[in-house]
Structure 1
Amino acid sequence: MQATVRTSVTFTGAGLHSGTPATIVVRPAVAGHGIWFCRTDVASGDNMIPAIWHSAEHAALCTKLVNDDGLYVSTVEHLMAALAGCGIRNALIDIDGPEVPILDGSSSPFVKGLLQGGLLKQEAATQAIEILKTVEVTQGDASARLEPASVFSMQFDIEFADAAIGAQSKSLTLSNGAFVHELANSRTFCRKADVDRMHAAGLALGGTYDNAIVVDGDTVLSPGGLRHTDEPVRHKMLDAVGDLALAGAPIIGRYVGHKSGHTLTNKLLHALFADPSAYRFVDCDSRQSAFLPGAGVTLDDIASV
């Protein structure tokens, strides 16, 4: 069954890159609606932006969605991951500016607010995308691929020169509450040198040591250190969940990422949908639905911080 939010849920904070205050309101939507953003600060023209793969545009360090009028909303990945991880397929998201607030740099505040507001099951079958054959894209030494599997699962590995991150690898089956429990509270991360570079370029103006993991060599500069010893790779998986949610339906298959990011994951979706023999849409029966992300998820699934 499809699901939406039971009641409107509001989140307020600053945009990571713009530093501009922003408020979003996640509102209930009918079955089959999908996820749409509405720029409430825009009075003329088309202020509706679909959360779909072919509306994504390359942007520095985030996922940016753009409609046919050129209106955009950016840094949507953590919210999209929260919606997907909670099994929410339908929502209208009002936003009063161009960037989703970063909150604590993870999906956890979004997940907590959505689950506290409650979910509403809808009398419509969930349609999923079943991967039928392997599709892969590469860029330099980075790669991303989707391959057939019976449930949605993910393998991810990263490698950074800073000893505080180093080489990390993780594999997860993302059924039920696994996203909420294993990934949702993992924060975005960056190197101190990258922070200085981004500030000089007018980016990350809303970034703080409280909404991102900042590392310098073998030192974690953020207060309290890491929430998980492998928090960086968990966050990369979180990002991939959010970016794959732009497929428009949950995926039944395995995602494998090697040093991949937002742009490469979106290129993977373009490659997938360019090959009709690589996938098919299926109406999930009760057994399949029970293994989708978000099935049966509760507040108890949120990892303590």
Structure 2
Amino acid sequence: MNFNLENSINQQINLIHFADVELFVKREDRIHPFVSGNKYRKLKYNLKEAESLGFRTLLTFGGAYSNHIAAVASAGQLLGFNTIGVIRGDELKDAKNDSETLQFAKSCGMQFKFVSREAYRNKTSRVFIDSLKAEFKEFYLVPEGGTNALAVSGCEEILTEADDDFDYICCAVGTGGTISGLINCSKPSQQVLGFPALKGDFLQQDISKFANKNNWKLITDYHFGGYAKINTDLITFINEFKNNFNVPLDPVYTGKMMFGIMDLIEKDYFPKGSKLLAIHTGGLQGITGMNSVLKRRNLPIIA
């Protein structure tokens, strides 16, 4: 696959009014247009495993605007895998053309199976998986969001020796795989801060399954109401951040993380002299779909 890891540079954010704190963004979003950021990291070893085991079909799960669905479809096309997406919401079957993410995934050759939201909750059960095997025969299963032990191994490669002098490592949190990898490859002197996009404390347990250090904390005040929930304050922040620093942010993950970081800096959460590294986990393909939703709600769009 044509991935450019050299594009994952640490870009400094010029904090004119907060000179006592340094902030950098690791531009993982620039690795690839669709298999970007943590999606590349999570899929890297999973796809190698699928290939070594002789599988030619990948099956995974996600919603109508899922970055993960788009990434698996794109990676599958690039590597010659067939791809199947089990999509949450059977009501989307007749409206799939309204989702730019699903249109893109379909253009990459992904086959869809739409299931009810109730059935989707059982996606990890043996009965549900067996029914998928009966329907689609042999496939390599990639979990929703891509998080498993192989994904965590890939995310452990995000930080390099050049990042050793940062005091704080910050990242958005969805299923917990990315932050787990960051925790495992961080230095004992570093603190890893996670900014969940979802409400609830269940992620603590999920992360603890994979993380091998205790130098981490979840900042749960910046989910904006839950997964994919946004408001005009967040939209304004994302647009201003891009205009001021030339760093695009997505509204589901990185936008909320960066909003939280900047708010904490203003509140003097970080000691003077702290050096922060925020991980840009990609997800920019979802902006087009979110803008369609915002237009229908007569809200400002993301530039």
Whether TM exceeds 0.5 here: the answer is no
TM-score by length of 1: 0.25
Which one has the largest radius of gyration? Answer: 2
Name whichever structure is richer in strand by fraction.
1
Pick 1 or 2: higher relative contact order, CA cutoff 8 A, min separation 6. Answer: 1
How does the TM-score come out when normalised to structure 2?
0.25
Q: Give the structure with the larger helix fraction.
A: 2
